[in-house]
A and B are shown apart, each in its own frame.
Chain A
Amino acid sequence: MIQTNQILETLRMIDQEKLDVRTITMGISLFNCVCDDVQRLASRVYSRIARQAEGLVRVGEEIEREFGVPIVNKRISVTPISLITGAVDDPMPVARALDRAAHETGVNFIGGYSALVQKGMTAADRRLISSIPQALSETELMCSSVNVASTRAGIDMDAVRLCGEAVKSLAEKTKDQDGLGCAKLVIFSNAVEDNPFMAGAFHGPGEGDCAVSVGVSGPGVVKRALESVRGEPFDTVAETIKKTAFRITRVGQLVAMEASRRLGVPFGIVDLSLAPTPAIGDSVAHILEEMGLEKCGTHGSTAALALLNDAVKKGGVMASSHVGGLSGAFIPVSEDIGMIEAAACGALTLDKLEAMTCVCSVGLDMIAVPGDTSAATVSAIIADEAAIGMINGKTTAVRVIPAPGKQVGDYVEFGGLLGRAPVIPVHPFSSDDFIARGGRIPAPLHSLRN
């Protein structure tokens, strides 16, 4: 029988510490929509998604009410669109169909306007990447990603160059909204096929017809737990995080199994994540500061984040039957009040963030840089991050916003879960000739593991 104090603890986690399930994401394969007539292709894509995800939002809301735990987002991820547009000249009608399907089903986002080009680009991949600025500026709920590198394949520097240009062009096309379009585009190294989190979610080609996955959250719960072990050694800190992560993940597993059963769709994975929001008390940066750092970004931040990331996985893995996605602590700047404060006061720099991405779940995320940052510099930031992912065999990503017309010290304002961010400086020295080379950076020696 459940004890009174356990019930109260659960209620406190939900009410005061902002425990929530960040997302239920339905992954949908679109391979059965393939067609060489773009209008028919778009129409099939729309129908397939609208039919498959018809009950997603309703079921999510039911589970939310019955278990009393907030489920913040309901989302859809689809097969990377470049894989189903090989026989058509223009992927834009498919982009519009995805956005319409997202509106029709009532989800918060749809992800998968994507290309996987770590080894090279097909004509369809090139068409898709060059259409990203238009596609993301003309749609509302659609997200896009490009995988430009992997440990096995190395880094496709031609794709890195194109992606830098796409980020710049997208910022310009959405300049009325501070470059909001860039918040919907992620450039990956070692992208995962079952990530439920936006903007990088897509339903990988190795996945089945359909699956539901869940991404959990709960930085506030971890912060609160650590408040009770102030001054104690790191062994105790790690154990405390593990126990907390176990509880958070069990909620995610429960929600995932319920959603799978009610929707009649196989369960995919639980993503063991600590995903912050701009709300007070929901910050990953504040967890690091609770460990004894005056401000996130100061010396010690990378070690603190490494411990946190590892303990979250160790605690969560036993709580779920299938763990996947990105799994770890996210460090998006604009979406985390502690990161915003740390970046604003100069404690957190782009270089320190890059170091922290070596040990966190993903990469440089939701960072505003000056509007006059060149496409080559954006590409070089992407290349650095891709190299970290490639060499360390982990997922890394870049989601930066070269904020149009803004300088260091200005703010970009997106609102909602995307938050706000101070514009932070990039290095003023050119990387133009480096990016102009193109070609491929070969895969590292340790890719040869057979």
Chain B
Amino acid sequence: MTREEIADGLAAVGYIADRDLATALLLMDMLRRPLLIEGEAGVGKTEVAKALSDLHGTNLIRLQCYEGLDQSAALYEWNYQRQLLAIKAREGADAEAIEAAIFSERFLLARPLLAAIRQDVAPVLLIDEVDRADEEFEAFLLELLSDFQVSIPELGTIVAKTIPRVVLTSNGTRELSDALRRRCLYHHLDYPSQDREVKIILTRVPGIAAALGRQVAGLIAALRREELAKVPGVAETLDWARALLGLGVADVGDDPVAVYETLACVLKTQEDRARIGRDVTDRLIAQVA
């Protein structure tokens, strides 16, 4: 695949990628490295993985990280209840046979990381918000991402059937270790340019007129230049476009009241709401209408 094919393919599944991102995705396949995507909340980091799995027609396996995430929630766990039942059911049988039976694959609960390396077709593994997990987990992840094998004491080593495409996202709540950063390709995702945002709106909101899409993108770009506590992301843009479309607004200049009332889609703190009053809204509308 060339870079253009990747960009076109992503566009076909509804993700408008910039050229640099397409290059990074191309390198992911070429160098077999995971891709670390950083950027503000709401710029579409998670969407990249979803679009990538659509593009390759494979499964998306998602691991949401949180503080205290451990191996049993991320990698594998034995199904203890079933094991107990099995022990009761075979009471009196040969102990060795029971042990062999209960520590077999049937009793293994594969969590996302193990599931990802046991697929027949290489899936996309999304490790979301990796900065929320603890440092110890990060070290463990690093080991898995370089070897793609897991050793389970009772069962032996499981080697990856296929190497998944790994996408990691980070919001920067904690600094990631240098080792993990070095292992990964890096892409910094910014808010989309106005042109790209227009394309995103037109792709993701069916039935919207190009003129309204352009106006919404213009308003969002203007809002992002205001000093907001919570800068609206792409999801907010799409919500807003859908809201305006649903209210039958064809031109924001004709219906400033509707624009003002639907600002709830974009401004998510009371502080921002107070900052963008009626007068500011009218000024912004005048810029784009």
Q: Do A and B share a complex?
A: no
Q: Which residues of B contact A (CB under 8 A)?
A: none
Q: Which residues of A contact B (CB under 8 A)?
A: none
